[in-house]
Amino acid sequence: MAFSKAVGVIGGMGPEATVDLMTRVIRKTPAVNDQDHIRMLVDNNPKIPSRIAAIIEGTGESPVPVLTEMARGLEVQGASFLAIPCNTAHVYYSEIQQAVTIPVLNMVALAAAAASTEITAKSARRVGLLGSSALSQTGLYEPYCRQVGVECLYPDEQQQADLMGLINAIKAQNAQPEQLEQYALIARALAAKGANCLIIACTELSVVDAALADDIRRIDALDVLVDHIIASATRH
């Protein structure tokens, strides 16, 4: 299989999640030598202003100027399309897409569509969102889920606070076993609330997917993005 296109990765949110994306792309790419792999132009920039401070706390500077600068830089370097391995950063998707002339994959829209396909129920179609508090505050997934006939469910207030604690601990490379156990309980609670499928909607949580039991039905937004990167790199 020939991969003629290069992907530009707007990374650093967080750095480990960006490396995780690259690793997943490499592992899923059918290749027998170096030349068979996809060219990845990666700006792994941990200096992007905090999305949490800007969106949730309302005290931080907008990350838009840095994100759009990164997007334009990757386009100049030769990227054929862009990918953003951060769910929350998709709050700024429109601004990023408008800054460049190449396509920007929309991980949120793609994950919502994938979850809809996974749900076989004809009624009471619900997804449980495991991600940052910005998801509920901005309704980031809501319009994309409505388009495919799916309702969004969220953890309760205390569970969401615990989830944010885990996300921050992963960023600090200090996630504790009890936090991972609580994460699994939160996932179970969303399923009990009526979620037909869960969406791992934070790339930090993608890193600790093994903490969830195999019988928990879920879609990992990062995996969906990886599949579309590989598919997009082959198109003419």
Q: Closest Cα to residue 110, out of 215, 209, 192, 223? A: 223
Q: Residue 120 has what pLDDT? A: 82
- pLDDT single digits (tens) 159-191: 999 999 999 999 999 999 999 999 999 999 999
Q: Residue 58 has what pLDDT? A: 86
Q: How many CB atoms lie within 10 A of CB 153?
A: 18
Same fold, 7-106+224-234 and 108-221: yes
For residues 210-233, average pLDDT: 95
Task: Indicate the average pLDDT of the chain.
Answer: 94
CATH number given to 108-221? 3.40.50.1860
For residues 8-36, average pLDDT: 94
Which entry of 86, 145, 152, 197 is annotated as an active-site residue? 86
Residue spans of the domains in the chain: they are: 7-106+224-234, 108-221
3-state helix/strand/coil string of 91-105: HHHHHHHHCCCCCEC
Q: Residue 1 has what pLDDT? A: 62
Location of structure tokens 């509920």: 136
Q: How many CB atoms lie within 10 A of CB 34?
A: 6
Q: Known catalytic residue: 145?
A: no
Q: Closest Cα to residue 109, out of 55, 70, 146, 62? A: 146
User: pTM of the predicted model, to two decimals?
Assistant: 0.94
Is the bond leading into 131 cis (omega within 30 degrees of zero)? Answer: no
Pick the CATH number of 7-106+224-234 from 3.40.50.1860, 3.40.309.10, 3.20.20.70, 3.40.50.300: 3.40.50.1860
Which entry of 145, 152, 197, 202 is annotated as an active-site residue? 202
Q: What percent of the chain has pLDDT over 70?
A: 98
Q: Is the dihedral of CA 182, 188, 191, 192 positive or negative?
A: negative
Token couple for 107? 């991980």
- pLDDT single digits (tens) 24-33: 999 999 989 9
Q: Known catalytic residue: 152?
A: no
Residues in a beta bridge with 11: 44
